[in-house]
Structure 1
Amino acid sequence: MWDVVVEASHNSDPDPANLDRYATGDALALMRQTLRSANDDDVTVVGEPVLDPEVTDISPQKAPDTVTILDCVDDSGWTEEESGAQSESPDPGEDQPRKVDATVRHDGLTWQVSQLRIWEQGTC
């Protein structure tokens, strides 16, 4: 999912066609809203976030269909450019990694991120 979102952010693509292969429900809506808002604001993003996912729960233990993931995302290298000019330097503290909680579900065929909560900077 993140690979699709990062590529779409680089291309100012508000609705990448294959995002729904990796995300569904609330997570898909959040990622589409974020990409559309950036496109509406004429924002292009450069760089990439650094991900550090950790599985914190698997259920049920036998034949799991739900996985909970905790990530500490460093998005300080994933920055916005507006109309070709890089945005101003962030305020102190804005370069801190942020907590991301995700629920990933298996529908019998594929695994998809179904819930996603992205916390404020400095939460992990």
Structure 2
Amino acid sequence: MGAYTDMWNVVIEASHSGDPDPRELEDHASGDALELMRQTLQGASDDGVTVVGEPMLAPEVTESSEREVTILDCVDDSEWVEQETDQSPSAEAEPGPRKVDATVSNDGLVWRVSELRIWEQGSC
């Protein structure tokens, strides 16, 4: 589960600094999960927003083997909000926590989040 929480820590830090492609992200994510997080950070950067606060994670391992761990999370991102460049908070409504499904895979050397699906707000 360390790769999962480490990935989120890199994304949170990058969202605060506006970094669209933090080098450290590749240490904790690969494949589709890496692309999803890069696209998310790039979108925020392209829109000219920075993010303040942090999401609350509640990951649980639902399956595990020697090479793969499946994680179910219910992420409350109501305190992790975009802030316009003029420092006024964005006006988007927050209808509730969102479900996150993740697969963390071991390539023989290191564990990385390889698959990630982030559902709509209010999905858990």
TM-score by length of 1: 0.92
2 CA distance for matches of 1:73 and 1:11?
A: 21
Letter aligned with residue 46 of structure 1: V
1:86 aligns with 2:89: yes
Q: Unaligned regions of 5+ residues in structure 2, if any? A: 1-6
For 1:20, the equivalent position in structure 2 comes to 26
Secondary structure (helix, strand or coil) at the match of 1:86 reads coil
2 CA distance for matches of 1:96 and 1:72?
A: 10
CA RMSD in angstroms, aligned pairs only: 0.8
Measure how far apart 1:85 and its partner are.
1.8
For 2:11, the equivalent position in structure 1 comes to 5
Measure how far apart 1:75 and its partner are.
0.3
Measure how far apart 1:95 and its partner are.
3.7
Aligned match for 2:47, one of 30, 41, 49 = 41
For 2:76, the equivalent position in structure 1 comes to 74
1 CA distance for matches of 2:123 and 2:21?
A: 28
Q: Unaligned regions of 5+ residues in structure 1, if any? A: none
1 CA distance for matches of 2:49 and 2:40?
A: 11
2 CA distance for matches of 1:67 and 1:37?
A: 29
Identity score, percent: 66
Is the 1:74–1:95 Cα contact (8 Å) retained in structure 2? no
Letter aligned with residue 68 of structure 1: T
Higher helix proportion, which one?
A: 2
